[in-house]
Copies of this chain bind each other. A is one copy, B any other.
Amino acid sequence: MFRSATTTMIRGVRHLSVARPANDKVGFIGLGNMGAHMARNLLKSGKTLSVFDLNQSAVDDLASSGATAAASPAEAADGATTIITMLPSSPHVEAVFTGENGIFETLGTDVLCIDSSTIDPSMSKKVCAMTEERGCDFVDAPVSGGVGGAEAGTLTFMVGGSDAAFNDANEILVHMGANIVHCGDVGTGQAAKICNNMLLAIGMIGASETMNLGVKLGMDPKLLAGILNTSTGRNWATEIYNPCPGVVDGAPAGRGYTGGFGSALMNKDVGLALDAARDAGATIPLGTLSREVYTAMCDAGYAEKDFSSAYEFLQEPNKWSK
């Protein structure tokens, strides 16, 4: 096995980075809406894949495209040189690595583990430490870009890990994404993701309140959006994804808030921001209130609607009284 010249210090131990071999064998665990597309793009790039998901039909789909079906995370990891996990939450990641029939039962040495799940950065650090104890590398590499980006292979990966591990991960991630960003040490990929999504939630609720207020004060919504977007109030939501129907062509607001990024998913991400802020001792008043708004939206039947439906929710009488 060839080793790259790159060396880096991890926890005081001189750690040699392993250049991924050309005949990289990838264990891929988690074939949901995102993961299935990502795995398929890796197959297209010529990688050998062993795949696992609790949903057997997702495994069968990939197997029919040339992947090897595995019966457990341990089986998918067996003999792999790279392992990719794309799972719903922190407990899933912990279980897939440490649980019965988990990755650690069969993990080799010098294996690169890439976790693309969006989870609490403290869990990323915990799993990283256990992975390194076994002589392997770990990066957290959550994504943005949605299902469309996963299918098109244009995702953004926000990667936390050592320089050497990042360089190795980059060789794999380029087959699934268009933009691979090294955010710092392990956990900072998650930090970047949850920071972005917390501010996105704040910006979307803020845009919803503002558009709603302006319309009630007699303004034309397109004119108001135009003023905001050429002034200091502007944000991504007002410009690209305006929550008021009819302002931005193609935004979910124009199709009853279908498609897009569901409020339940945003609620999960803002919840991770709250957990991380509590652990880090950071004060996030608007983030905290945004979480309350998205939780209230989920309770009121907006869980599956696009997160820009905050505009509609805030017009419902008696749903929000704080």
Interface residues, chain A, with chain B CB atoms under 8 Å away = 121, 144, 156, 158, 179, 181, 183-185, 187-188, 191-192, 195-200, 202-203, 205-207, 209-210, 212-214, 216-220, 223-224, 227-228, 230-236, 238, 240-241, 273, 276-277, 280-290, 292-293, 314-315, 320, 322
A142 to chain B, nearest CB (A): 12
In this complex, what residue of B is CB-closest to A197?
B233
Question: Which 3 A-B residue pairs are closest in the complex by CB-CB distance?
Answer: A235-B235, A199-B233, A191-B217
Q: In whole angstroms, what is the CA distance A219 to B195 when docked?
A: 10
CB–CB A287/B209 < 8 A = yes
In this complex, what residue of B is CB-closest to A195?
B214
- CB neighbours of A184 from chain B (8 A): 218-220, 223
**What 13 additional pairs, Cβ within 8 angstroms, besides A196-B232, A210-B284?**
A121-B217, A183-B219, A183-B223, A192-B214, A192-B219, A192-B227, A195-B219, A197-B233, A199-B210, A206-B286, A212-B283, A234-B235, A235-B236
- CB neighbours of A233 from chain B (8 A): 195-200, 203, 236
A171 to chain B, nearest CB (A): 21
If the complex has contacts A209-B198, A289-B289, are A156 and B234 also in contact, measured as CB distance less than 8 A? no
CB–CB A228/B320 < 8 A = no
- CB neighbours of A192 from chain B (8 A): 214, 219, 224, 227
- CB neighbours of A235 from chain B (8 A): 199, 203, 234-236
Q: In whole angstroms, what is the CA distance A200 to B282 when docked?
A: 21
- CB neighbours of A320 from chain B (8 A): 283, 285
- CB neighbours of A322 from chain B (8 A): 285, 288
- CB neighbours of A198 from chain B (8 A): 206, 209-210, 213, 233
In this complex, what residue of B is CB-closest to A283?
B314
Q: In whole angstroms, what is the CA distance A210 to B206 when docked?
A: 15
CB–CB B218/A191 < 8 A = yes
A-B contacts, 20 listed (Cβ < 8 Å): A156-B231, A187-B218, A188-B217, A188-B218, A191-B217, A192-B219, A192-B224, A192-B227, A195-B224, A196-B228, A198-B209, A198-B210, A199-B206, A199-B235, A202-B209, A206-B206, A213-B273, A217-B280, A285-B289, A285-B293
- CB neighbours of A230 from chain B (8 A): 179
CB–CB B276/A200 < 8 A = no
- CB neighbours of A181 from chain B (8 A): 227
Task: Give the residue of B199, B216, B228 whose beta carbon is less than 8 angstroms from that of A207.
Answer: B199
- CB neighbours of A196 from chain B (8 A): 210, 227-228, 231-233
A79 to chain B, nearest CB (A): 34
